[in-house]
Structure 1
Amino acid sequence: MESDHLLSLALKDAAIAYGSLERPDFAFVTSAYQRQPYRSLVEALSSFAVVEDDTHLDDDVCFQYKISTKSGSWRLLLSMVGPYAMLFRAPKAHRWTSRVILEPIVDDFSKEEKLISGLADEWGFTFLSGGQSKISVEFPSWPGGPMEEGPLYRVLFSDVFDLAW
């Protein structure tokens, strides 16, 4: 998806989820977490991998799942704001100190990565590239805080980020 179009859709979804981009209300996070709208997707992922919920309700506006098989580990982020996802591959040591963002159109996916991204695609998720996640937007750093420039990642996924990818 073209970045300008993605940004426009993401900001519309964010305005709906937060109620306002200038004065965001984060109540939707607790509600979404209690509803677990992607439970069936997680169950499908669990059919071929160990899936661990690693969502942090204090910082995240996404569901974070650690996915592991004998051949590797990944982190899948599914936004609570709208149908946006990111997929990270853990280095061989299965440590998250450095991550490789996977871009479904560009990268040569393993069998498991094809399964993960294929299931998310079936659910209607759009995967953001590293560049798209870094698009600069105005958004408060905390509820009631001043508007500040920051990455789209912060609006769609989490305010805890390492954009080293």
Structure 2
Amino acid sequence: MTVPDGQYRLKRNRRIRRQQKKQQKQERKKKKRQQEGGVKDRKRSRSQAVERAIRIQISYDALKNDHPYDRRVEEILGLILDVMVSTAPKLRINREEKDIEIVKAQFAKLTKDHVEFVLQSMDDTSTKARNIRAVLLTALYNSVNTINSYYGNRYHFHLAEETRREMEETD
């Protein structure tokens, strides 16, 4: 059974109009969402840009390569991102309120070495942390100022140990 040519065109035109109306409705919804969510989109895009910058700053890919099964790397990235996009006027670090700009300036100095230092420090400690977020924020904040002293102390300790062992062997 064949459909007359006029009926075919009529059905096709109806189908096309329905599709056009559906597209227009979707476009109106999309435009409305963009207008309502414009602020959210800007915040999200800013947050994504900051995250990309942090990933480069701390050599995230190299960290993941060096610590492939350590989820703390992602957690630390998230904490750094939280601090860098925070709009709060103050942040609690080392049990005291610090201006967010000071904390952001300190976190802007973080590198892969600082993150590895914090990971190593967390591995070396046997104390139970009640607020791990606060501990990590404090460790990251302080790592900028203490990393050189820490590794210098370890170097001198091992050098002294080696010297002591050599003296014991010669006696």
After TM superposition, the score normalised by the length of structure 2 is 0.23
Normalized per residue, which structure has more strand?
Answer: 1
Normalized per residue, which structure has more helix?
Answer: 2
- Structure with greater contact order relative to length (CA < 8 Å, sep ≥ 6): 1
